[in-house]
């Protein structure tokens, strides 16, 4: 008979048993976490405090920043705590919570990016109907639909994963990741969860295709704008979002098309850090550098009386 036991604790991957390397990992993750947190919170504060940014596009941008903050906050604090406390353990309930909230935030991020593509399509291809279609009530309804749908999706994925019986409690990853958990399964029910994952992949692919088709129509409409200034203004609102989508897509492809391995390696962990952290870290910088309205609002937010001259010089 196979050794089927209920796991009360899981053991996560650790960089090294050498104390100095554990502290180095803590410092590295702390730097990445603070960078991601400060950048996204700055975007949230800028959109919330500047009334000129109270538009559908920036409302969804604020939602995207919230999802980015959530996704890294689910992963990094526990990993940093384990590093500084010389521990590898995560409780069963903690692992369940980590899987659930990570799936919710990542799925919500993709859904928000899809809604933002639709918003740009309506703004550029149907400008006369924009206020009628993307009014405040409609935007709030879209956000609620995203949250509820992604909560349900995360719940299904989490239940499907932890309905399995695990024959080992050693996860070859620095956080609780569904594919790594399924490798620990010693029951045939894991095939059901594999099916759920495939359904999620098809939904994600559908979102990517929708975004691509939407932007093909947007760029076709931009080409018909007679004014050069109008073209630049339209592109200035589209390019940051398109760049964020590109980063999200390529990091996802990078994560899920690499050859699977049964044992964790330093390179495998580097890949994991890239696909879980690169998008949340880069998103605020992409929007603040490529979007003039965000840059103007940031200047206003950072303009504190006596420091006005200093900020202008910078």
Percent with pLDDT over 90 in the chain: 27
CB 161 within 8 A of CB 99: yes
- Token duo for residue 298: 């940031």
Specify the pairing of strand 9-11 against strand 89-91: antiparallel
The pLDDT-based confidence of 267 (bands split at 50, 70, 90) is: low
Mean of per-residue pLDDT scores for the chain: 82
Please name the residue ranges forming H helices in the chain. Answer: 19-49, 56-84, 92-125, 130-133, 136-162, 178-182, 190-223, 228-256, 266-290, 292-302, 308-313
The pLDDT-based confidence of 139 (bands split at 50, 70, 90) is: very high
Answer whether residue 295 shows pLDDT above 80. no
Give whole-number Cα distances, 124 to 116, 269, 300, in Å: 12, 41, 27
CA 138 to chain centre: 23
**Which SS3 state, helix, strand or coil, does residue 267 take?**
helix
Q: End-to-end distance of the chain based on CA atoms, in angstroms?
A: 69
**At residue 310, what are phi and psi to the nearest 5 degrees?**
-60, -45
Judged by average pLDDT, the poorest of 77-86, 103-112, 246-255, 276-285 is 246-255
Boundaries of every domain in the chain: 9-313
Answer whether residue 101 shows pLDDT above 60. yes
Answer whether residue 261 shows pLDDT above 60. no
Name 20's Cβ contacts closer than 8 Å, sequence gap at least 6. Answer: none
What is the pLDDT at residue 154? Answer: 93
The residue that leads in pLDDT, 150 or 287, is 150
| Superfamily in which the 9-313 domain is placed by CATH | Rhodopsin 7-helix transmembrane proteins (1.20.1070.10)
pLDDT, tens digit, 9 for 90 and up, residues 148-180: 999 999 999 899 888 888 888 888 888 898 888
pLDDT, tens digit, 9 for 90 and up, residues 19-61: 788 888 889 889 999 999 998 998 998 888 888 888 898 999 9
What is the pLDDT at residue 310? Answer: 37
């Amino acid at each position: 008979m196979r050794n089927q036991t209920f796991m009360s604790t899981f053991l996560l991957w650790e960089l090294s048993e050498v104390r100095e390397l554990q502290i180095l990992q803590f410092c590295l993750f702390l730097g990445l976490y603070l960078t991601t947190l400060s950048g996204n919170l700055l975007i949230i504060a800028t959109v919330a405090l500047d009334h000129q940014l109270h538009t559908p596009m920036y409302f969804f941008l604020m939602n995207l920043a919230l999802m980015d903050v959530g996704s890294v906050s689910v992963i990094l604090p526990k990993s940093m705590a384990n590093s500084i406390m010389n521990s590898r353990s995560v409780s069963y309930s903690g692992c369940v919570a980590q899987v659930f909230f990570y799936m919710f935030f990542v799925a919500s991020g993709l859904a928000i990016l899809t809604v933002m593509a639709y918003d740009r399509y309506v703004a550029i291809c149907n400008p006369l109907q924009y206020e009628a279609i993307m009014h405040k009530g409609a935007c709030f309804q879209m956000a609620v639909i995203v949250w509820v749908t992604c909560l349900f999706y995360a719940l299904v994925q989490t239940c499907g994963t932890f309905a399995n019986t695990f024959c080992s409690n050693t996860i070859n990853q620095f956080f609780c990741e569904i594919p790594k958990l399924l490798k620990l399964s010693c029951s045939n029910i894991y095939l059901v969860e594999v099916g759920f994952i495939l359904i999620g992949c098809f939904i994600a692919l559908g979102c990517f295709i929708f975004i691509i088709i939407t932007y093909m129509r947007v760029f076709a409409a931009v080409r018909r704008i007679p004014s050069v200034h109008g073209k630049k203004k339209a592109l200035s609102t589209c390019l940051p979002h398109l760049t964020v989508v590109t980063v999200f897509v390529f990091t996802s492809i990078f994560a899920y098309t690499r050859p699977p391995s049964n044992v964790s390696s330093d390179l495998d962990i580097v890949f994991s850090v890239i696909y879980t952290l690169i998008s949340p870290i880069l998103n605020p910088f992409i929007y603040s550098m490529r979007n003039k309205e965000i840059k103007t609002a940031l200047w206003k937010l950072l303009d504190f009386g006596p420091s006005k001259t200093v900020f202008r010089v910078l």
